[in-house]
Amino acid sequence: MDPDRALLVACLDLTSLAEDEDGSTIEALCERAVHPVVGRPELHVAAVCVWPRWIATAQRLLNGSPVHVAAATGGFPVPDAPLGDRLHEIEDAVAAGADEVDVPIARFLLNERDALSGELSATRASAGDAVWKAIVETGAVELSAVRALADAAIAAGADFVKSSTGKGVPGVSPEAAAVLAETIRDGGRRTGLKLSGGIRGLGQATNHLAQIRAILGRDWPAPSTFRIGASALLDALIA
């Protein structure tokens, strides 16, 4: 396996967000996360991303491994529930053992900056010490709004800005990925980037990697700063 493929494996958030999963599905997911490549026992993905009901199961299965458990929460995928309910979801996920939380931004507040800032600050507080990935949903807004939402998330203390939920709207485009990377570059502090939504092929992944390196620097992509959220991509990387 060449170094770029190995890097992409290490930066994967291996995702299972179907509605019909059972314990065996999560067990297989976690086994694959820890041992994704035959003959490379040192190589593992960055995290598994699951619904909150599977956090405890994933933590038990991954106990002792370096793979994190990320939860899709806080109103995921559409943040239309009352803010208090969404914040409780995040707090419950962290209490259940989530290392990371993937939370959609209430993009309908884009023109109400104070309200948006307040929601994002409350999200940061509810996430506590967990890694907070703020989801912009780039396929649902114009590129100018992508930058504005990412700027607001960075200002509120997001650890990552994430492109997409992968649910119901188009995934990340190269143009949107570039805007997110440029916003991070100009954001004044080190913030990670997670790309997701329709990234299934090796060519897509390597093109995104080259794009991110061109904007943020060749050594910038690493599991602490760069993720790709996908389920099918791993097959392409190890084929």
Report residue 50: phi and psi, to 5°. -135, 170
Report residue 161: phi and psi, to 5°. -105, 135
Query: How many Cα atoms occupy the beta-carbon half-sphere of 13 within 13 Å?
Result: 31
Has 162 been annotated as catalytic? Answer: yes
Has 167 been annotated as catalytic? Answer: no
Q: Which of 13, 133, 159, 194 is catalytic?
A: 194
Residue 137's contacts (CB-CB under 8 Å, 6 or more residues apart) are 104, 105, 107, 163, 164, 165, 169
Q: Which of 13, 133, 159, 162 is catalytic?
A: 162
Q: Which of 13, 102, 133, 159 is catalytic?
A: 102
77 preceded by cis ω (within 30°)?
yes
Cβ atoms within 10 A of the Cβ of 118, count? Answer: 14
Residues marked active site are found at: 102, 162, 194
